[in-house]
């Protein structure tokens, strides 16, 4: 017999909270320490008796910590399987068998919760990164498209309009500065900029691009 074969005593934990293997009268009256000794000797009746005594308490604690019946039932199965496979972990000098099982339940439930939280954090981080990546790519593509179309529209303006707008809007010069640089009257410069911007905005609108950012 191996340790895994004894796991059959708790295979029904998911479906019911009572042990599927009934303990014989030979182990019902012994104390928990004797039960663990018998479990160490591959006694499945002793294992079933330990489950019958403490399975409910382990399940109740699992439910309180995990808030999910299916997960709590899995935890009960996990805790008792560990008892079957490693009965030597129980130290009677440190407390009762029930205390030992409950402490194991608490520790493993907390580990389960932390693992689940880390998984959710990873999924959320991945989702945010994918959204950000998609957004950045789409935004960059849109910016490049708009910039290209703005250049095309700028090329369609008259030389006077284009030069005045480039100096005033992209060069950061005042109307007076532009007039001085181009050697034109300030009124002429203002008129060229106004007409050029109007044409720029209208042509962008015709291309489906919002030109409201272009001031008159």
Tens-binned pLDDT, residue by residue, of the chain (216 aa): 555 555 454 444 333 333 334 445 577 778 999 999 999 999 999 999 999 999 999 999 999 999 999 999 999 999 999 999 999 999 999 999 999 999 999 999 999 999 888 888 888 887 776 665 555 555 555 565 666 777 777 777 788 888 888 887 777 788 888 888 888 888 888 888 888 788 777 777 776 666 555 655
**Positions of CATH 1.10.10.10 in the chain:** 131-206
pTM given for the model: 0.50
**Per-residue confidence (pLDDT) for residue 96, from 0 to 100:** 95
CA-nearest of 79, 30, 171 to 162 is: 171
Q: Which CATH class is domain 131-206?
A: mainly alpha
Are 153 and 200 spatial neighbours (Cβ–Cβ below 8 Å)? Answer: yes
* Cα–Cα distance for residue pair 121/30, rounded to 1 Å: 47
**Per-residue confidence (pLDDT) for residue 169, from 0 to 100:** 74
Residue 191: Cβ-neighbour burial (10 angstroms; 0-12, 13-18, 19+): middle
**Per-residue confidence (pLDDT) for residue 205, from 0 to 100:** 76
* Cα–Cα distance for residue pair 12/30, rounded to 1 Å: 24
Give the number of other Cβ atoms within 10 Å of residue 102's Cβ.
19
Is the CATH code 3.30.460.80 the one for domain 4-119? no
**Per-residue confidence (pLDDT) for residue 158, from 0 to 100:** 82
**Per-residue confidence (pLDDT) for residue 17, from 0 to 100:** 35
Are 35 and 27 spatial neighbours (Cβ–Cβ below 8 Å)? Answer: yes
**Positions of CATH 1.10.1740.10 in the chain:** 4-119
Query: H-type helices in the chain, by residue range?
Result: 25-28, 32-40, 44-66, 69-85, 97-156, 159-165, 175-182, 186-206
Dihedral, 208, 211, 212, 216 alpha carbons, nearest 10: -150
**Per-residue confidence (pLDDT) for residue 189, from 0 to 100:** 86
Are 147 and 100 spatial neighbours (Cβ–Cβ below 8 Å)? Answer: no
């Amino acid at each position: 017999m191996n340790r895994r074969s004894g796991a059959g005593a708790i295979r029904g934990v998911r479906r019911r909270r009572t042990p599927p293997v009934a303990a014989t009268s030979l182990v019902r009256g012994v104390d928990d320490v004797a039960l663990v000794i018998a479990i160490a000797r591959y006694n499945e009746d002793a294992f079933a008796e330990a489950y019958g005594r403490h399975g409910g308490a382990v399940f109740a604690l699992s439910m309180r910590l995990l808030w999910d019946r299916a997960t709590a039932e899995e935890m009960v199965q996990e805790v008792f399987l560990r008892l079957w496979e490693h009965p030597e972990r129980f130290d009677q000098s440190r407390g009762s068998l029930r205390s030992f099982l409950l402490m194991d339940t608490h520790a493993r439930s907390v580990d389960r919760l932390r693992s689940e939280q880390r998984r959710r954090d990873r999924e959320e981080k991945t989702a945010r990164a994918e959204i950000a990546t998609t957004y950045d790519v789409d935004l960059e593509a849109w910016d490049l498209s708009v910039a290209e179309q703005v250049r095309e529209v700028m090329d369609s303006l008259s030389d006077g309009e284009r030069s005045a707008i480039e100096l005033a809007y992209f060069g950061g010069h005042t109307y007076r500065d532009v007039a001085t640089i181009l050697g034109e009257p300030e009124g002429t410069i203002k008129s060229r900029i106004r007409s050029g911007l109007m044409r720029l905005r209208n042509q962008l609108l015709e291309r489906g691009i919002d030109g409201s950012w272009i001031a008159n």
